[in-house]
């Protein structure tokens, strides 16, 4: 590694650390203060509430890293531009592509770090944060979620949901067991699928078994469609269902395969699975785009404009990335295309932007 590359890396990590630290501190303060009323109304102490917020810091670090890479890269090249360091380097016959090498190396390194955190620390920290949120803050203690199954205790009923689709807000593989006051079986309802319509749960392909008390007899009835009054809503299931961010890439891949083998639609999770690979790749694109922006001639006299451009680029990426994922969830785009479309677009944009700089 040359001295020029070492110098650039030293400056980059200085600004990257400052930007990342500032944003994370602001996140912790704002998240803590805006939820203060919920913390006070819960069984959580203020110190415990602060620990709850800190559990989300690894996830926010990963989410903010691409934007911080972009802003730090723009800042380093902009300062080199203003101090005529870029001019001196070009006068020595060194191509700007030589200066981009450490930026790409940083993008690759931080992209790998993001993936590593997503495989190790983040699933654990987010799972613990969600457990505190739903069991202590929201006090949904009658809801229990495993990797795939959701169990709900509602009055004298024990409800098991085999699969929940958060996009369509539908459920599949439902079993509702009702108990009498003496804890003997009263009835059991099995439904193939269900959905929430006009404020009510509607289930299809139903087998209802009613147990006659003090006998071994069952009255069995079949229904094509039936409304069954339940106390929970789809948003309640969305809260407790295990989310993709709580699973590592390989755990989510195993989950997708299992869901598909059982005949359920795993499109939502397949989009998130591809997103776990696609999202870290944006670090390289942000490094390229940041380098191209910081090298522009106008930046020499107006660094704040360059920073503003960086913020706009990061904002536009988030909009496009979220929009493409939504189209994947809605079956408009295949999962792999929806996860990678924004990256491919910004890769072409960043490459052309850099070539134009030369």
Separation between Cα atoms, residue 249 and residue 130, nearest integer Å: 19
The pLDDT value recorded for residue 358 is 58
For residue 138, the model assigns a pLDDT of 65
Q: DSSP character for 298?
A: G
Structure tokens at 218: 């069952």
For the chain, the distance separating the N- and C-terminal CA atoms, rounded to the nearest angstrom, is: 23
pLDDT exceeds 90 at position 239: no
Instruction: Please name which of 228, 296, 265, 341 lies closest in space to residue 80, comparing C-alpha atoms.
Output: 296
Residues belonging to the chain: 358
Residue 187: is its pLDDT beyond 50? yes
Where in the chain are the domains? 3-131+262-357, 149-241
Average pLDDT over residues 12-33: 94
- pTM exceeding the 0.75 threshold for the entire prediction: yes
**Average pLDDT score over residue span 6-32:** 93
pLDDT of 265-294, one tens digit each? 788 889 999 999 999 999 999 999 999 898
CA distance 192 to 196: 14
Query: Taking all residues of the chain, what is their mean pLDDT, rounded to a whole number?
Result: 85
Question: Mind listing the pLDDT tens digit for each residue in 85-115?
Answer: 888 888 887 777 787 889 999 999 999 999 9
- When mean pLDDT is compared across 6-15, 124-133, 136-145, the lowest value belongs to 136-145
pLDDT of residue 140 exceeding 80: no
């Amino acid at each position: 590694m040359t001295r020029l590359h070492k110098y650039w890396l030293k400056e980059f990590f200085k600004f990257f650390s400052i930007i990342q630290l500032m944003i994370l501190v602001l996140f912790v303060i704002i998240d803590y203060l805006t939820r203060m009323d919920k913390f006070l109304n819960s069984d959580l102490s203020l110190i415990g509430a602060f620990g709850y917020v800190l559990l989300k810091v690894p996830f926010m670090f990963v989410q903010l890293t691409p934007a911080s890479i972009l802003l730090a890269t723009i800042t380093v090249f902009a300062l080199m531009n203003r101090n005529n360091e870029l001019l001196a380097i070009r006068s020595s016959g060194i191509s700007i592509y030589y200066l981009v090498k450490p930026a790409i190396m940083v993008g690759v390194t931080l992209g790998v770090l993001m993936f590593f955190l997503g495989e190790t620390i983040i699933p654990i920290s987010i799972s613990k944060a969600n457990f505190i949120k739903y069991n202590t803050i929201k006090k949904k203690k009658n809801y229990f979620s495993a990797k795939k199954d959701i169990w709900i205790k509602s009055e004298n009923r024990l409800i098991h949901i085999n699969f929940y689709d958060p996009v369509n807000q539908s459920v599949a593989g439902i079993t509702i067991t009702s108990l009498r006051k003496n804890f003997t079986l009263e009835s059991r309802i099995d439904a193939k699928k269900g959905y929430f319509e006009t404020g009510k749960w509607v289930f299809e392909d139903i087998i209802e078994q009613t147990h006659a008390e003090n006998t071994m007899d069952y009255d069995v009835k079949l229904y094509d469609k039936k409304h069954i009054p339940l106390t929970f809503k789809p948003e309640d299931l969305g809260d407790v269902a295990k989310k993709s961010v709580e699973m590592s890439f390989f755990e989510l891949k195993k989950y997708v395969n299992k869901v598909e083998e059982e005949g359920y639609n795993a499109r939502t999770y397949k989009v998130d699975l591809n997103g776990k690979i696609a999202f870290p790749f944006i670090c390289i694109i942000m490094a390229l785009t940041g380098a191209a922006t910081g090298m522009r001639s106008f930046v020499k006299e107006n660094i704040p404009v360059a920073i503003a451009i960086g913020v706009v680029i990061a904002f536009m990426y988030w909009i496009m990335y979220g929009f493409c994922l939504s189209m994947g969830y809605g079956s408009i785009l295949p999962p792999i295309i929806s996860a990678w479309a924004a990256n491919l677009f910004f890769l072409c944009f960043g490459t052309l932007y850099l070539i134009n700089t030369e």
